[in-house]
Structure 1
Amino acid sequence: MNGRAPSAGGGFRGLRARIPRVAAALRSLGRRLARVLLVLFLLQLAAVVLYRFVDPPLTPLMLWRLVQGHGLDHRPVALDNVPVHVRAALIASEDSRFCTHYGFDWVELRQQLVRLFHGEPARGASTLTMQTARNILLWPGRDPLRKLLEAFVALELELLWPKRRIFEVHLSVAEYGPGVYGIEAGARRWFGRPVSRLSHREAALLVSVLPAPLTRRPDRPDRALVRRARVVEARARALPAELLACVLDQSSSTTRSAASRPR
């Protein structure tokens, strides 16, 4: 029997010999991960470019709700088929500075930080651009990774899409109830008429469900929803022209100006 114990020097030499192999394996893993991330980036960029011209047929949220058993009623709508007062209601409800920011409403964000500092409940600070970004490409949830990706995609949308297109896609894919996607589908589901025939009150009620579309019903509003809709309707009627300019064409601008004159 050999009683010699392994020398410390031999063990150290063995460890040194393994280090290059481990380093090489890590470099190989890093290269593979980089390639995967590059492919994912290119795929989402291709989707962003495609959806600039083509309405998204499905979104991750739609697929997730289907798995949950909510069904699918998705009705894309052209912006020109949405009345001006409905456009104004959505902006007044969700993002009053949509036409003047570049994806992030820093004024609203500062206000939310002040509210948090004073111990007051904060409201959501997501812009319409950020909502569109998560609606078309990202999974439901509030985890930090999704919020980071949401901000990144929002920047892409602001760079690659005109404001009218961002607004139009939001109108076509936002969730307005269990399995109900797009403001056209919402109008037909809850009021039995197309979005082109919604009254000011109905438009305000419909967009007011957006923070919680699975639990609020615009056709049977509770007191809180009624109060919110009244505020939204008043804000929409008083919205300055410059805060609507990016979602209007010349004819609709003239129509709004005529409708807003005192009688």
Structure 2
Amino acid sequence: MIRFLFKALIGFLGLSLALVLVFKFIPVPVTATMLMDSNGITKDWTALSNIDRTMVRAVIAAEDGKFCSHEGFDHEAIEDALENNRQGGRIRGGSTISQQTAKNVFLWQGGGYVRKGFEAWFTVLIEQIWGKRRIMEVYLNVAETGLGTYGMEAGAQRYFGKSAASLTPLEAARMAAALPQPKQRAVRNPSGWLARHGNTISARIGSVARDGLDSCVYR
């Protein structure tokens, strides 16, 4: 039994390393989330150079302000989320863009400590092997942006009828605001809290630019 478990562990480590190395250079063809989506799959892999920098700044502003300064994990955000959840507040996560990318590409949606453990392993691998620019490029191409829609290019075409290369700050901010719940949150003509949240993200885009919070992506 121990021998079998050892072989299984070695096999998993080898396979995971091979997948990370392959996806450092080639587009991710499909993910588990896409395959399990009953709405189908609409996607259009787009190089980071063809995605407006405003979109990069919007997701950093909305999802992970420390993207360029952490090594895959925002320990302060994780501790805050755990404390909030212990106190019975609205369930929050502390995932970075790196963690979300690892989950989206290699794993499945949903919680659980087992998946979190795998997520941590893949996060370490992509931080070390891919680097920040590739992590951002993959994230912007595999993130769910609407019903059966994946990636910023497909999302931009769906919502605004234009390429992700020419998004305005407000358009990028509204897409970023919808990322945590892309099936429920409106991108076009949002109202109430969601509209205010999008406006806040749009305003923060300038801070990301001014403070160089996206500098690791464009070295």
TM superposition score category, shorter chain reference: over 0.9
- The letter for the 1-side match of 2:212 is E
The Cα offsets for residues 91-121 of structure 1, whole Å up to 9 and x where unpaired, read as 0001000000000011222333443455543
SS of corresponding position for 2:178: coil
Distance (whole Å) between structure 2 residues aligned to residue 190 and residue 157 of structure 1: 30
Of residues 221-230 and 107-116 in structure 1, the stretch that sits farther from structure 2 once superposed is 107-116
Identical counterparts, % of pairs: 38
Q: TM-score, normalised by structure 1?
A: 0.78
2:13 aligned with 1:44, yes or no? no
Which ranges in structure 2 are unaligned for 5 or more consecutive residues?
none
Instruction: State whether residues 85 and 92 of structure 2, in contact with CA within 8 Å, keep that contact through their aligned partners in structure 1.
Output: no
- The letter for the 2-side match of 1:226 is A
2:68 aligned with 1:99, yes or no? yes
Partner of 2:28: 56
- The letter for the 2-side match of 1:100 is S
The Cα offsets for residues 107-136 of structure 1, whole Å up to 9 and x where unpaired, read as 222333443455543532100000000011
- The letter for the 1-side match of 2:120 is A
Partner of 1:182: 151
- The letter for the 2-side match of 1:124 is G
- The letter for the 1-side match of 2:7 is R
Distance (whole Å) between structure 1 residues aligned to residue 23 and residue 169 of structure 2: 30
Q: How many residues align?
A: 218
Partner of 2:100: 131
Distance (whole Å) between structure 1 residues aligned to residue 201 and residue 83 of structure 2: 23
Instruction: State whether residues 190 and 217 of structure 1, in contact with CA within 8 Å, keep that contact through their aligned partners in structure 2.
Output: no
Partner of 1:258: none
Instruction: State whether residues 204 and 232 of structure 1, in contact with CA within 8 Å, keep that contact through their aligned partners in structure 2.
Output: yes
Q: Could you say what the CA RMSD is over the residues aligned between the two structures, in angstroms?
A: 1.6
Partner of 1:20: none
Pick the structure with greater CA Rg.
1
Partner of 2:213: 243
SS of corresponding position for 1:176: strand
2:179 aligned with 1:207, yes or no? no
Instruction: State whether residues 103 and 129 of structure 1, in contact with CA within 8 Å, keep that contact through their aligned partners in structure 2.
Output: yes
Q: TM-score, normalised by structure 2?
A: 0.93
Map 1:216-227 → 2, pairs under 5 A:
216-227=185-196
Bigger relative contact order, structure 1 or 2 (CA pairs below 8 A, ≥6 apart): 2
2:2 aligned with 1:30, yes or no? yes
